[in-house]
Structure 1
Amino acid sequence: MQRRDFLLASAAFLPFPVTLAQAQGNVLSATAGTPAPNVPWAKLAEVLGDRLAPVEWPLAKCLEQPDGEACRAFFGSVSNPYFLGDNPALTQTFGWVGAWSAQPSAYVVKAQSAQDVAAAVNFARSNGVRLAVKGGGHSYQGCSNSAHSLLIWTRAMQAITTHDAFIPEGSKAKPVEAVTIGAGAIWGDVYREVCVRAGRYVQGGGCLTVGVAGLVQSGGFGSFSKRYGLAASSLLQAEIVTADGLVRIVNENQEPELFFALKGGGGGTFGVITSLTLKTHVLPKTFGAVFAEIRANSDDAYSGLIERAVSFYSQSLFNPNWGEQLAFRPNNALAISMVFQDLEQAEAERVWAPFFGWVKENSDKYQLASDPVVLAVPATSFFDAEFLKTLPGVVETDSQPGASKERIFWASNREEAGQVIHAYQSTWLSEDLLGAGSKADLSRALFEASRHWSVSLHTNKALAGAPENVREAARNTAMNPAVADAFALLICAAEGPPAYPGVHGHEPDLEQANRDAARVDAAMNALRSRIATNGSYLAESNYFQTDWQKAFWGENIERLQKAKRKYDPENIFSVHHNVGEVD
């Protein structure tokens, strides 16, 4: 994937946006970059013991001695997402040029229970200390870190319990199969327990090291969302600590407005989730993938390839079996990275045969970079670490001493660990664009955009083509309802390698970042000049989005703001682009 100048404690970088609560005299005196004075940390230590600790920032050694062994070792480790996730001072993304840079909290609460979280929330509220919350630490918007804050780190809360018959508290609904997950769990762990060991499926994220709680609160897509929907749609119940320090059990019957807000209203906004219970599904017989790259020898040929790909998608792949990406690149290449569920390998090959056959018939215009890969595996093996490690180049393992052999991550995610975002924009594309009268416009828009930068259709991150019950369930979440009528989320983004301002030899390339951002802008402008776009996905969106409330939540924004005023009137939980923020 290709993914805008860091926010530092320096005049060269932009400040955090002003929130509604700050404008009205927010109780939080410790705004970003400003330590709260005279904080009685010892009082919190009396309650939490060694679960409260000062944060040790690994990058401090790099700022002091950028050529030292400690700094070399640090930058040699940051491509391992587990190395980043296991340290409370680090985030999976190091920053966004022009927006923010990862900053350490003053202290961390290594929470092991909802009561630990409540103690931290009460202390922060009473002492005017800014809060940050981190589970997986994957926020592109910088929401899981804040300088001088008290960090609530849920990493240790990783319990995963499957249920044969779960009924939410206070509900008269029929029991369903479900899984209860601690807020610190990551999706790789959940898939191992649910899919490999329990023989069920749970809809989660595509990246194995993404945190469960953050994904659900953003709405949450996975590779197979065209069949199983949003992660938020599967939410049956949550345990959450709100700004008043109360531990609440919320579901459709108990505090339904808060429950609704947790289903896509944004993480770090309404409280700290400590556990979630998600509905599980029947595991399909297979999961699989198709990989190919096709190169065109001229612009005219590439335009024709895009038209053919759009037509093929609308006729053969626009259904619950298929998900993931088609990428259109400036070098006139089409990259295919698609997944499927519940098809045998021969069935998947038959689906693609007409398209690959057309490419070969037109070999004077198109070349396959290599033979297409079509692979189906038993669904119980798809998330099995030992099986995946037998497939060359598919996964990598946590290289830290003593790490569990089950700690794997997709090899394709390696470049994202420690990344610096240069630009990131996304928009949903309506299913109407796949109609007979609109496909030519869509194809031309994709071609024009790809003259500037790569653009990718993430077909699993939109729900047109999914079963109607899946689409209706999405409309019952806080996400922009446009998600149910879109066939794909188009993403255009750029990123650089791990870097940090002020660390000699490891500083971000600001000139390159600005060039990349300009090209991403040009690509998106070209696209929008030809076709209508509608909204954006909160978790994968532009930090500088101007119409963000409408884009992320559409008509649901007023309902979310009402819930925010009720459960967090002083904006204790404040992150970039949260529903309590003023434009």
Structure 2
Amino acid sequence: MRGGVFGLLCSALLLAQDAVAQRPNAVRGNKPKKWVMRSVAGADYACKCYPGDDCWPNRGQWQKLNNTVGGNLQVNIPPGAPCYNTFQGPLGDVATYNAAECQKVTSNWNDEQFQIELPAAGLWTYFTNDTCRPTTTPTDTCTLGYYPVLVIMAKTAAHIQAGVDFARENNLRLIIRNTGHDFLGRSVGWGALVINTHSFQDIKFSDAWSGAGDYSGPAVTVGAGVQAFEVLKQANALKPPKIMVTGECATVGVAGGLVQGGGHGPLTNFYGFLADTALEFKVVTADGDLKTANADTNADLFWALRGGGPSAFAVIVEASYKIFEDKPSAGLHLDIDQSHTTNTTLFWEAVRVFHGYSTHFVDNGLYVYYELGTTGQNLHVHPFVGIGKTPEELQAVLEPMFADLDGLGITYTTSEADFPTFYDLYQAMFEGEMAGNSALTGGWTIARQDVEENHPAVISAFQTVVSAGSFLIGHMWSAGHGLPEEQWGDSAVNPRFRNVVDKLITIVPVAGNAPLADKAAAQDKLTNVVDAALREGSPNGCAYINEADPYEPNWQEAFWGETYSRLLEIRQKYDPDGVFYAVSTPGTENWEQIETGTRLCLKI
């Protein structure tokens, strides 16, 4: 049993208090609202309302909300609960064991799409506290951990509006969840109410955009729940085939967190970020209103939604983007590992050669996806992508690198192929990703200037990352290569991204249910060893909010640079009371998750 019906909700809520209390007076000038006051280490906090608090909504209020959202409110039960006799939830215990369902969950635990289709699962489990994983011992304990408490499986914009209104009026922590495809724990949160937008699956193509702005080419309008593989498949079926900017991973949603973080992918060399191609959004703002945001209407909100931070300004219901003609493309895989050399010095020389050509690759329109150190001494480039190139043209771009590798005397493995469209290459050459793992993720970018002026420092940073037991996932592109410079400021992404040639994700494995001391040590390693090395190696780089350390030092500068002050003004205009929250996004400076990362509170 993975998500109980509202009858279960009603019976469980008998265990919650019915009283509703108003906390006196405004916190920092806000309107009177329900707050839970806390003091920690001499600091005072006003916190959101959670189960067991006097201000937690009563049965009647939840029933009214359920009626408003068409019966689509449900208690959230962790995905692994069918493997346990009992789910011990904050609203009461529920008998959950089901052998067939347990087998289904266990066999599909690492499948991204399986997890995506669940009401409130996080694809990476660290920020759930790694609770209630599938087990063969049903008597083990299954608790909610940091999963949310209740979920609205929204089917209409009105359902989203009702959820936003209810969270605002009752001062609840609110989570917006589409696919759960994030590394920073934004899709989960202790004691929260979730609005799940994954049911919004409409896809509409237009030969000529007739909306706001001066663009008149082909476009696509997608619902909030549409994933990359779905829209790319339909775009490929058009005559002639079309393509849009999406992430490298096919299961990512293309409206919502991706575009609000910027949205980079294999076409970034040509068209910039997904945010740079956005034409219009339909959104629900913190006041519960359904708004249109484009170049002419709510233009400030439109700018902020294009890279200004996920779950920060509004809930995206629908998004419209430019699309482009697809082109024949060529791809090539490259592997250098211990089957090629056990000489550590030689291996790192090969890495230096490979990465030293990053500016050359992106200047010639290539996209390069690679992993470094996943199994120790391993460089796995899968793939080099030449959009609009023949295999011969791709080889010509790569020939100087191969000549230098040959000069080192190192062997390597390659395979190449050509395709009638980039979409076909995307289907064939990119490797699938897995869900259900637990780790901390960070990241940084490598600036062109640092490759050109001090590349040995970059490689030294890579060595530090790998020697610390972490590994790197790299994405070589240039968000300023194919986009006219006069358009760079049309979206809220950090201007430094226009001079980036490599965007890195760092991974520090750690169990979500590890002892607190071990978690603290892993976070310290990520922030002050792994990512610190990259910051030192590329001081002209920046960080990408969707794939970064959530506790990145000086995050305002790292994520947004000179755009931050404007983003902060827009956040204060559209969400002055903090209805929306995602860690390290504009306007969250005074918000903290206290009491071992549970209660979301405003420091006063």
TM-score interval w.r.t. the shorter chain? 0.7 to 0.9
Please point out which of 432, 448, 453 is paired with 1:412: 432
Unaligned residue ranges in structure 1 (runs of 5+): 1-20, 395-409, 502-506
Over residues 323-349 of structure 1, what are the superposed CA-to-partner deviations in whole Å (9 max), with x where a residue is unaligned?
323636784433323323111123223
Tell me: CA distance 1:323–1:22, structure 2 relative to 1, closer, same or farther (3 Å): farther
Q: What percent of counterpart residues are identical?
A: 23
Please point out which of 58, 74, 83 is paired with 1:38: 58
Give 2:359's aligned residue. Answer: 314
How far apart are 1:205 and its partner, in Å?
1.2
Give 1:404's aligned residue. Answer: none
Q: Matches of 2:523 and 2:583 in 1, distance apart?
A: 23
Please point out which of 114, 120, 130 is paired with 1:89: 120
* Residue pair 1:97, 1:420 contacting (<8 A) in 2 also: no
How far apart are 1:186 and its partner, in Å?
1.0
Q: Matches of 2:201 and 2:154 in 1, distance apart?
A: 11
> Aligned pair 1:438/2:483, yes or no?
no
How far apart are 1:542 and its partner, in Å?
0.5
* Residue pair 2:295, 2:302 contacting (<8 A) in 1 also: yes
Tell me: CA distance 1:451–1:282, structure 2 relative to 1, closer, same or farther (3 Å): same
> 1:298-447 counterparts in 2 under 5 A?
298-325=343-370, 327=372, 331-337=376-382, 338-360=384-406, 362-363=408-409, 366-368=410-412, 371-379=413-421, 381-382=423-424, 388=427, 411-414=431-434, 417-421=435-439, 423-435=440-452, 437-447=453-463
Give 1:185's aligned residue. Answer: 226
Q: Quick check: 297-306 or 198-207, which moved more?
A: 297-306
Q: Quick check: 75-84 or 308-317, which moved more?
A: 308-317
Tell me: CA distance 1:286–1:122, structure 2 relative to 1, closer, same or farther (3 Å): same
Over residues 352-393 of structure 1, what are the superposed CA-to-partner deviations in whole Å (9 max), with x where a residue is unaligned?
344334434544xx232xx30122212165278xxx5xx6xx
Q: Matches of 1:432 and 1:131 in 2, distance apart?
A: 41
How far apart are 1:191 and its partner, in Å?
0.8
Give 2:319's aligned residue. Answer: 276
Tell me: CA distance 1:446–1:373, structure 2 relative to 1, closer, same or farther (3 Å): same
Give 2:544's aligned residue. Answer: 537
Q: Matches of 1:123 and 1:97 in 2, distance apart?
A: 24
* Residue pair 2:444, 2:535 contacting (<8 A) in 1 also: no
- The AA in structure 1 aligned to 2:63 is A
- Other structure's SS at 2:106 match: helix
Please point out which of 286, 307, 313 is paired with 2:329: 286
How far apart are 1:311 and its partner, in Å?
3.4
Q: Matches of 2:242 and 2:553 in 1, distance apart?
A: 41
RMSD (CA atoms): 3.3
Tell me: CA distance 1:176–1:381, structure 2 relative to 1, closer, same or farther (3 Å): closer
Higher relative contact order (CA 8 A, sep 6+): 1
Over residues 138-164 of structure 1, what are the superposed CA-to-partner deviations in whole Å (9 max), with x where a residue is unaligned?
122221223333321111111000011
How far apart are 1:561 and its partner, in Å?
1.2
> Aligned pair 1:233/2:276, yes or no?
yes
TM-score under structure 1 length normalisation: 0.80
Give 2:479's aligned residue. Answer: 463
Over residues 288-315 of structure 1, what are the superposed CA-to-partner deviations in whole Å (9 max), with x where a residue is unaligned?
3433225444343234323322333333
How far apart are 1:89 and its partner, in Å?
2.8
> Aligned pair 1:75/2:106, yes or no?
yes
How far apart are 1:510 and its partner, in Å?
8.1
TM-score under structure 2 length normalisation: 0.77
- The AA in structure 2 aligned to 1:488 is D
Q: Matches of 2:112 and 2:475 in 1, distance apart?
A: 25
- Other structure's SS at 1:305 match: helix
How far apart are 1:575 and its partner, in Å?
2.1
Q: Matches of 1:342 and 1:433 in 2, distance apart?
A: 29
- The AA in structure 2 aligned to 1:284 is K
- The AA in structure 1 aligned to 2:280 is Q
* Residue pair 2:57, 2:170 contacting (<8 A) in 1 also: no
Give 2:93's aligned residue. Answer: none
Give 2:38's aligned residue. Answer: none
- Other structure's SS at 2:438 match: strand
* Residue pair 2:551, 2:584 contacting (<8 A) in 1 also: no
* Residue pair 2:387, 2:422 contacting (<8 A) in 1 also: no
- The AA in structure 2 aligned to 1:31 is K
Give 1:452's aligned residue. Answer: 468
Please point out which of 222, 247, 253 is paired with 1:205: 247
Q: Quick check: 548-557 or 196-205, which moved more?
A: 196-205
Give 1:475's aligned residue. Answer: 489
Give 2:10's aligned residue. Answer: none
- Other structure's SS at 2:479 match: coil
Tell me: CA distance 1:129–1:453, structure 2 relative to 1, closer, same or farther (3 Å): closer
How far apart are 1:257 and its partner, in Å?
0.7
> Aligned pair 1:579/2:586, yes or no?
yes
Q: Matches of 2:431 and 2:529 in 1, distance apart?
A: 30
* Residue pair 2:184, 2:441 contacting (<8 A) in 1 also: no
Over residues 452-481 of structure 1, what are the superposed CA-to-partner deviations in whole Å (9 max), with x where a residue is unaligned?
3455463445525x1251x55343221211
- The AA in structure 2 aligned to 1:177 is P
How far apart are 1:193 and its partner, in Å?
1.4
Q: Quick check: 293-302 or 262-271, which moved more?
A: 293-302
Q: Matches of 1:68 and 1:117 in 2, distance apart?
A: 32
Number of matched pairs:
522
* Residue pair 2:242, 2:323 contacting (<8 A) in 1 also: yes
> Aligned pair 1:223/2:243, yes or no?
no
Q: Quick check: 101-110 or 179-188, which moved more?
A: 101-110
Q: Quick check: 545-554 or 440-449, which moved more?
A: 440-449
Give 1:553's aligned residue. Answer: 560
* Residue pair 2:370, 2:381 contacting (<8 A) in 1 also: yes
Q: Matches of 2:375 and 2:28 in 1, distance apart?
A: 44
